[in-house]
Amino acid sequence: MMQKVFTKPEALKDCQTHYCPGCGHGIAHRLIAETIDELGIRGRTIGIAPVGCSVLAYDYLDVDMVEVAHGRAPAVATGMKRTNPDKIIFSYQGDGDLAAIGTSEIIHAAHRGEQITVIFINNAVFGMTGGQMAPTTLLEQVTTTTPLGRDAGKQGYPLQVSELLAILPGAIYIERCALSNPAQVRKAKKAIKHAFELQLNNAQGLSLVELLSPCPTYWRMTPAKAIEWMENEMIKIFPLGRLKG
């Protein structure tokens, strides 16, 4: 039986990863790179990476990249798309960025129907700054700032960004996927490609793909246990599937 050979996408740099073992960012990067190659848009694509673990995207994606201030990626993407309508503009943001300091930017970009693509990595924690509670942290989840677990009466409830954006008329496509097993990764690739295709086909409005992603380091789990926790606990709070479009 002939074994399938996997080659590196041209839109992905040939370098060693700096992400923690079991982190989902590397998978997400490959899916984006494969999509860019398959659509033949590498020369006209501009990625935007803000503060957080997501900022390292420019070390791995071999396309034009811009680093921006914490939470401001949708605002910068808005300006870039309006002044360069022929370019394919996407932001790559974590939950500590998009769902916290950048909440107003993503909501208003979606409300205005900006013609951009957003890849949203949700690992339910602030990864780069030490494992603090994020807006997406689950109830009873232990973080460095919720050592007894998140309490709804003290810290509120997990913020469901996709559901929030799906009610806005300017958001044309919202889907939540998970990087938990091969079948789910294939679904994530399909969603990412559809989001890029909408912009490529000049569809008017914002597209967002949320990717549930493991963070074994700050979940204090092994990579295998982190995947199990995603499938057994995280997906209960963040159900998978297409919410709009």
Question: Is the pLDDT confidence value at 92 over 90?
Answer: yes
Residue-wise pLDDT for 106-126, tens only, equals: 999 999 999 999 999 999 999
What lies within 8 Å, CB to CB, of 142 at 6+ separation is 148, 149, 220
Residues 74 and 125: their CA atoms lie apart, in Å, by: 21
Answer yes or no: are the C-beta atoms of 68 and 50 closer than 8 Å: yes
Q: Express as a percent the part of the chain with pLDDT over 70.
A: 98
Please spell the DSSP secondary structure of 42-107, one letter per residue. GGGEEEEE-SSGGGGGGGTB-SEEEE--TT-HHHHHHHHHHH-TTSEEEEEEEHHIIIIITHHHHH
**What is the CATH number assigned to the segment(s) 25-244?**
3.40.50.970
Q: What average pLDDT does the chain have? A: 95
Residue 222 has pLDDT above 80, yes or no: yes
Angstrom distance (rounded) from CA 163 to CA 180: 21
Contact 42, 90 (CB under 8 A): no
Smallest CA-to-CA distance from 237 within 131, 148, 140 is with 140
pLDDT at 4: 61
- For the cut 60, the answer to whether the pLDDT of residue 80 exceeds it is yes
Crossing angle of the two packed helices 182-200 and 25-39, in degrees rounded to 10: 40
Residue range 185-190: mean pLDDT, rounded = 98
Distances in Å between the alpha carbon of 135 and those of 109, 198, 222, 225, 244? 19, 29, 23, 22, 22
What is the residue whose two structure tokens read 């603090």?
132
pLDDT the model gives residue 1: 54
The whole-model pTM stands at 0.95
DSSP state of 24: S
Q: What is the pLDDT of residue 2?
A: 57
- Report the C-alpha gap between 172 and 32 in whole angstroms: 20
Per-residue pLDDT, 3: 61
Residue 128: band (very low, low, confident or very high) from pLDDT cuts 50, 70, 90: confident
Nearest Cα neighbor of 120 from 133, 138, 107 is: 107
Residue 12: DSSP 8-state: B
With contact defined as beta carbons under 8 Å apart, do 171 and 116 qualify? no
CA 74 to chain centroid: 13
pLDDT, tens digit, 9 for 90 and up, residues 132-159: 999 999 999 999 999 999 999 999 999 9
Residue extents of the structural domains in the chain:
25-244
| Mean pLDDT value of segment 162-171 | 98
User: What pLDDT, on the 0 to 100 scale, is given for residue 7?
Assistant: 87
pLDDT: is 130 or 49 the higher one?
49
